[in-house]
Structure 1
Amino acid sequence: MECPFCAIVAGRQPCLRVMEDGEVVAFLDRRPLFPGHVLVIPRRHAQTLTDLTAQETGPFFLRVRRLAGAVERGMAAAGTFVAVNNRVSQSVPHLHVHIVPRERRDGLRGFFWPRHPYPDEEHARRAAARVRAALDSPPGPDG
């Protein structure tokens, strides 16, 4: 079965495009949190953020940055929420960045889920050490 976002890139799946160039296609989300909710996808199929090459990452996020400003201005929003899911909660297995216009007291809370603080400073230090160690180790088969 074809990736639905690859079908959008190829023009085989309709969408309301707001921008496209050689790097990205940006279009309105079909199930928006608020009007003006945009998805930005790379033209090349990449399942997650870690599947983008180093050369693709900068140009991709330059477009995300530009679109975040356009959503804010175009929707007369107080700000935007910019988010990426990698695998978990990723409804379509093609990298996509959500740009959601926001207003104060718009009903969305934090990151949409409960926070889980560290029980103490030692747990936080161990988590930081694990991430630092992973930076120095080669990526696994999934990136």
Structure 2
Amino acid sequence: MVCSFCDLITRPDDLGIVDVGADTAALLDHAPVFFGHALVVPIVHVEHLLVAPSELAAMIMVRTQEVARAAMLAYHADGILTVTNSIISQSVPHLHIHVIPRRRGDGLRGFLWPRRRYPTDATLADHRNALGLG
């Protein structure tokens, strides 16, 4: 199977490529939520965040921060939405972080909804304990 991101990274003259570095690339999303919507991807093929080596995940987040700062300036954004999918809703099976410039009142709604509260403190504690990180 040919990965569209791996293929794109090898074509430095493609208009969708913002930057290709030693470890990561920044690409414009071909169907942006808002103009300037970029993707940060590792150069090496990694399917999703859950299987990425920790060092690579850290490098991707540093590059995501740089792209987010650039997008804030370039698009006079009020904020940035950064998001990644792992497995479900991942249209390209290559790790990528979406960097989406946002403005107050831009109309983006329902992306992470519906949301609800834990009904009881006991339910909250059960879910905290289920993650088992502490």
Please list every run of at least 4 consecutive aligned residues from structure 1 whose deviation after the TM superposition is greater than 3 angstroms: 12-15
* Amino acid across the alignment from 1:17: I
Give TM-score scaled by structure 2 length.
0.91
- Paired position in structure 2 for 1:83: 83
Q: Find the counterpart in structure 1 of residue 107 from structure 2.
A: 107
Which residue identity lines up with residue 131 of structure 1 in the other structure? L
SS at match of 1:101: strand
Q: Which amino acid aligns with 2:58?
A: G
Pick which of 41-50 and 110-119 moved more.
110-119
- The equivalent residue for 2:70 is 70
Identical columns (%): 35
Contact 1:7 1:13 in 2 (8 A): no
Between the aligned partners of 2:121 and 2:10, the Cα distance in structure 1 is 50
Please give the secondary structure, in 1, of the residue aligned with 2:18.
strand
In structure 2, list runs of 5 or more residues that go unmatched.
none
- Per mean C-alpha deviation after superposition, the further-off stretch among 116-125 and 21-30 is 116-125
2:26 equivalent to 1:26: yes
Per the TM alignment, residue 3 of structure 1 is displaced from its structure 2 partner at its CA by 1.0
**SS of the residue aligned with 1:90?**
coil
Q: Are 2:6 and 1:41 equivalent residues in the alignment?
A: no
What is the SS of the residue equivalent to 1:69?
helix
Give structure 1 stretches of 5+ with no counterpart: 137-143
Using the size of structure 1 for normalisation, the TM-score is: 0.85
Equivalent residues, number: 134
Distance in 2 of aligned mates of 1:71 and 1:81: 11
CA contact (8 A) 1:38 1:99 kept: yes
- 1:110 CA drift (Å): 5.8
When structure 1 is superposed on structure 2, of 8-17 and 48-57 the one drifting more is 8-17
Q: Tell me, in whole angstroms, the C-alpha distance in 1 between the residues paired with 2:88 and 2:50.
A: 14
Alpha-carbon distance in 2 for matches of 1:129, 1:15 = 47
Separation in structure 2 between the aligned mates of residue 12 and residue 106 of structure 1, nearest angstrom: 32
Residue type matched to 2:32 in 1? Answer: P
1:12 shift after superposition: 8.8
Distance 1:55 1:79 in 2: 27
Q: Deviations over 1:86-138 (max 9, x none)?
A: 11111111111000000001111264431132222111111110101xx48xx
